[in-house]
Chain A
Amino acid sequence: MRVELTAAERSRLRELSVERSLGERSGFVRPELRSRWQQLQDDIARAHGVHPADARFRADGASGRAWIEVSPRSAEAHAAAAVRFARAVEAFAVEDLPMDVDAASAVRLRAKLEAGGPILVGERHGVEQNPLVA
């Protein structure tokens, strides 16, 4: 099945793809940009009622057209992914990690918490997350 993209969707993809291609030429695509690209494609797929995992984005440079090729994963594949994930949750070993906090940070953190916070922790999306940390 093929789903044509709207002009607005093509425009948003084009805008971000320019940023991506600049990064690719320099040999480094910022993780944030990868994440935004993925999220944009996921949102567009969902807007057309397509599960993001089933969507393959295609474009024709000559005509400027862009579309989604829909290749549905089987219900079995969805179910298998869900089972794998649920098992991984059960298998994850939660443990406390030692913290080494310098005096200046401790004072500052305490003052901010007494003022009500919040603490905003900025992470890098991707495989390097360590959920034990926060």
Chain B
Amino acid sequence: MVGLEWSTDLQPAVDAFLAGGPLAAETFTDSGDGRITAGHFAVLRSLRREGRLDRVVVFDPSPWPGTWSERDREMAAHLLRETRDVPALVMAGGLHTRLRRHRHGEPLGAHVAQARPGTVEVRVRYPGDVVVRAGRDTCRLRSAGAWLELTVPDSRPGVTPAG
């Protein structure tokens, strides 16, 4: 299962796409912040066709509650309710996936880790952040204290629905 920090309003359109239907692209055309890109849909479809993806759960509440921490608590509750004991790969903004409280508040990751002791945090690093010693097409996963660090190869501008 894959979890994405996309609006829960989009779940029916995502489900229909994964069921083999055409992409209802007009449903997504107000998204321009990079959370949703063409690459996401292409990868999800590919995983599904290969039998490696059962479900996608989108968990960003709509509308947002009043505070940062309330939003993260709702995201975590939705995610935990939908995933139960199913193995899941969850992608969200790096401040939401932290496993401990920080200056923005109590993050999603802290709630999930409390309920699921097997929770692991992976922080993505980008080519501009570090000197990449491995090949430029290679992902590197390293232990970095309490979390793992994934250094990704070259990134490129994504195509967002808002264009």
Contact = CB atoms under 8 A, between A and B. Distances in A.
A49 interface: no
B35 A125 contact: yes
Given A97-B153, A121-B122, A122-B124, A38 B33 contact: yes
Given A125-B35, A126-B33, A85 B159 contact: yes
B34 interface: yes
A80 B126 CA distance: 32
Nearest to B39: A131
B29 A78 contact: yes
A113 B87 contact: yes
The majority secondary structure among interface residues of chain B is: loop
B10 interface: no
B34 A98 contact: no
Given A78-B29, A121-B90, A105 B124 contact: no
Contact size class for B? Answer: 35 or more
A42 B30 CA distance: 8
A98 B43 contact: no
Interface of B: 3, 22-23, 25-26, 28-30, 32-35, 37-43, 45-46, 62-64, 66, 68, 79, 83, 85, 87-99, 104, 108-109, 112, 116-124, 126, 128, 134-135, 137-143, 148, 150, 152-163
28 contacts: A32-B94, A43-B62, A82-B28, A85-B25, A89-B42, A92-B39, A93-B42, A97-B139, A100-B138, A104-B143, A109-B148, A112-B119, A113-B118, A114-B118, A116-B87, A117-B87, A117-B118, A118-B116, A119-B89, A120-B92, A121-B92, A121-B122, A122-B109, A122-B121, A127-B158, A129-B37, A129-B158, A131-B42
